[in-house]
Structure 1
Amino acid sequence: MSFMDDDRPKKPTVHEVGSDLSLLSTDELSARVGLLQGEIQRLQAEIDRKNSGRKAAESFFRS
């Protein structure tokens, strides 16, 4: 391994549901937990945004 290898960009951490976790370190597992928690927040925000739009449309058409 040369010193140039450290300058290469690292691939972003990804997680595949159901993948084998036995080969991952506790640091890698913690990183995946953080990744998934961020994704859960992003999904919940989109659900909230869509529910808000639906409620606004229902309110508009009830009038």
Structure 2
Amino acid sequence: MSFIDDDRPQKKTAHEVGADLSMLSVDELKARVELLKAEIARLEAEAARKASGRQAAESFFRT
């Protein structure tokens, strides 16, 4: 078992809004863009799911 990698700092994979981007490589920036696109898609899907549930409830109680 090797302990060499245990001392290395772990790269942060999440993106923090407003974080300094000057020290990131092009590949790291692209990875963050993809991460954020996936998160936007997840948020939009959840918003759509909740909106359809609300519409169903409103139409049920109108009748």
- For normalisation by structure 1, the TM-score amounts to 0.83
- Residue of structure 2 equivalent to 1:42: 42
The structure-2 alpha-carbon separation of the partners of 1:43 and 1:13, relative to structure 1 and needing over 3 Å to count, comes to same
Q: Which runs of 5+ in 2 are unaligned?
A: none
Q: Which runs of 5+ in 1 are unaligned?
A: none
How far 1:4 moved relative to its partner?
4.6
- For normalisation by structure 2, the TM-score amounts to 0.83
Deviations 1:20-52, CA, capped at 9 Å, x for gaps: 000000000000000000000000000001000
Q: Secondary structure at the match of 1:13?
A: coil
**Identity rate, percent:** 69
| 4+ aligned runs moved over 6 Å, structure 1 | none
